[in-house]
Amino acid sequence: MARPREDLAARFWAKVDKRGPDECWPWTGGKRRKGYGAIGEGGRGGKMLVASRLAYELQNGPIPEGHQVLHSCDNPPCCNGAHLFTGTNLDNIGDMREKGRQRYVGGPRKLTEEQRQAIRLDTRPQDDIARDFGVDQSTISRIKREVSLQSLHGPLT
């Protein structure tokens, strides 16, 4: 993520509905499942970035390795740096559990069961799907293989 950074920041802010300092600043650009904003990194073969991660980096600084960006306001499209904090996967699981949300499925990166289901049903080339979800093609391949295992051996629990 080196070069098109400035351009990326400009494109990012153009898609944020910036409001008062305490309010949520909703992302107005493209969204992924569960309402997370998404923005292309730019450049050839650029990845899709999660808007809230970019929001955090632009306003609060680098995200510690292995951490995710979480919302104190519980509003996934929000890009107000004051509402964003980082935590590990485990924090996220705890956070979700506290909020009584759906079970967080661990495994490849931060994909939820919902997203994995969508990946299994996606008929596009695996590279395209991988780019969309911000994971490696090998992850997509693994998720898609899980389904054939399931049909052979019954549900994996």
**Is position 82 an interface residue for Zn ion (rule: CB under 5 A)?**
no
Provide the minimum distance between the beta carbon of 83 and Zn ion in the complex, in angstroms, as a whole number.
3
Q: How many CB atoms lie within 10 A of CB 25?
A: 22
Q: Is the dihedral of CA 83, 87, 93, 97 positive or negative?
A: negative
User: CB under 5 A: which stretch of 26-34, 36-44, 79-87, 90-98 binds Zn ion?
Assistant: 79-87
**Is position 60 an interface residue for Zn ion (rule: CB under 5 A)?**
no
CA-to-CA dists, residue 97 to 66, 74, 89, 120, 125, angstroms:
20, 13, 12, 25, 34
Name the token pair of 66: 């292995």
- Residues in a beta bridge with 78: 26
Are 104 and 53 in contact by the 8 Å Cβ rule? The answer is no
**Is position 83 an interface residue for Zn ion (rule: CB under 5 A)?**
yes
C-beta of 78 vs 119, nearer to Zn ion: 78
User: CB under 5 A: which stretch of 42-50, 66-74, 97-105, 137-145 binds Zn ion?
Assistant: 66-74
**Is position 118 an interface residue for Zn ion (rule: CB under 5 A)?**
no
Binds Zn ion by CB under 5 A, chosen from 8, 24, 39, 129: 24
C-beta of 27 vs 133, nearer to Zn ion: 27
Are 120 and 147 in contact by the 8 Å Cβ rule? The answer is yes
Summarize as ranges the residues that interact with Zn ion (CB under 5 A): 24, 73, 75, 78, 80, 83
